[in-house]
């Protein structure tokens, strides 16, 4: 499995490259924050930082679908960022996500297949930029096939053939942060997929949301994967200290 790369870019405050192993989407994220906003866009909520998200598709200019996914990302990330910490009110956190590889999106295509990768890239670049967060999260895509099987991370072609598609983002504390489902399904199916999402994101071992980093077992959960990526980065950043001991 390809591990995400943190702090790859020099200019922005934080960056991350995330490649989804199953769907093949490659997202490059950059975060600047806190920065002064050029216009007084903070007029509505001066007590909090404004979170701005920009999504750039790989081959074309951003269109209406990108506006829509930006809106979703803004509402999810804006809730997770601690926008009232010192230095953040009246300023902005600018998140730019470029789709560097993967299938092209056509007009009117569902954006659900790429949403988990965008969420992961945004989270990792915010961690890399040291933006204070109230919790971390991880997201997963599920498809339900005609026979009723739940497939995790279906490829874009498999996603088109599936009866319903579901994206879940589960926080590190077990909350349901985001759900986007489309297709044709009933609530019992949704509940099954939700349970599956909880186990995929949190790992089945611990119920208290605190993922214990054991050998091998933890990497099965998505929370563990995010944690490992950050730990690896910290390990390499502080390698000089380890060497001096």
Partner 1 sequence: MASSATTGNPMPPSLSMPPSQFARLQPHAYLRAHLSPPSSDQPSVRANGRATSQFRVTSVNTGSLTHANGSAVVRIGDTTAVCGVRAELLHTSDISSWGVSQAPSKQNPTNTNEAKDSKSEDEDDQGQIQDLNLLVPNLSLSTGCAPGLTPGAPPSALAQSLSHQILSLLHTTNLVRADDLRIWYQPPNFDSEEFHNPGEGMEVDTEQSGGPEREIKAFWVLYIDIMILSMAGNAFDAAWASVLAALRDTKLPNAWWDDDNETILCSDDFAEAHRLTLRGLPIASSFCCFEGDAAAGWRANVIPDAEEQKKKKGSQQKWILADPDGYEEGLTQERACVVVDKENGKTIIVKMEKHGGWNVDSDDLRKLVDVSSQRWDDLKQALEQC
**Measured from the CB of residue 206, what is the shortest distance to partner 1 in angstroms?**
12
Q: Which of 60, 46, 118 is nearest to 89 (CA)?
A: 46
Q: With binding defined as CB under 8 A, does residue 78 bind partner 1?
A: yes
Report the alpha-carbon distance of residue 57 to residue 63 in Å, rounded: 9
Q: Is 154 in the site for partner 1 (CB under 8 A)?
A: no
For 36-121, where are the E strands, in sequence order?
A: 50-56, 92-101
The span from the CA of 68 to the CA of 74, in Å, is 10
Instruction: Select from 48, 121, 122, 150 the one that contacts partner 1 (CB under 8 A).
Output: 48
Of 1 and 64, nearer to partner 1 (C-beta) is: 64
Here's the x/- map for partner 1, 181-220, by CB under 8 A: it reads as xxxxxxx--xx--x------------xxx-----------
Spatial contact of 226 and 136, defined as CB atoms under 8 Å apart: yes
Single residue of 3, 68, 87, 212 touching partner 1 by CB under 8 A: 68
Distances, alpha carbon 146 to alpha carbons 39, 183, 185, 196, in Å: 50, 11, 11, 18
Choice between 75 and 236, CB closer to partner 1:
75
CA gap 159, 180 in Å, rounded: 14
**Interacting residues toward partner 1 by CB under 8 A:** 48, 63-65, 67-68, 70-72, 75-76, 78-79, 82-84, 106-111, 132, 134-135, 171, 173-187, 190-191, 194, 207-209
């Amino acid at each position: 499995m390809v591990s995400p790369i943190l702090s790859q870019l020099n200019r922005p405050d934080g960056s991350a490259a995330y490649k989804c192993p199953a769907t093949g989407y490659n997202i490059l994220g950059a975060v600047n924050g806190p920065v002064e906003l050029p216009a007084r866009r903070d007029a509505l909520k001066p007590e909090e930082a404004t979170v701005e998200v920009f999504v750039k598709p790989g081959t074309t200019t951003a269109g209406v679908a990108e506006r829509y996914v930006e809106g979703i990302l803004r509402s999810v990330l804006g809730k997770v960022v601690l926008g009232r910490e010192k230095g953040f009110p009246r300023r902005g956190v600018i998140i730019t996500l470029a789709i560097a590889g993967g299938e092209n999106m056509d007009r009117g295509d569902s954006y659900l297949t790429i949403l988990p990768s965008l969420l992961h890239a945004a989270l990792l670049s915010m961690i890399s930029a040291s933006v204070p967060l109230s919790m971390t999260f991880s997201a997963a895509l599920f498809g339900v096939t005609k026979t009723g099987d739940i497939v995790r991370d279906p490829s874009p072609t498999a996603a088109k053939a599936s009866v319903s598609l579901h994206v879940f983002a589960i926080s590190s504390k077990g909350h349901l942060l985001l759900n986007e489902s489309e297709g044709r399904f009933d609530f019992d199916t949704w509940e099954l997929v939700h349970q599956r999402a909880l186990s995929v994101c949190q790992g089945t071992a611990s119920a208290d949301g605190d993922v214990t980093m054991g050998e091998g077992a933890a990497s099965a959960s998505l929370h563990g994967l995010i944690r490992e990526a950050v730990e690896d980065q910290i390990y390499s950043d502080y390698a000089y200290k380890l060497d001096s001991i």
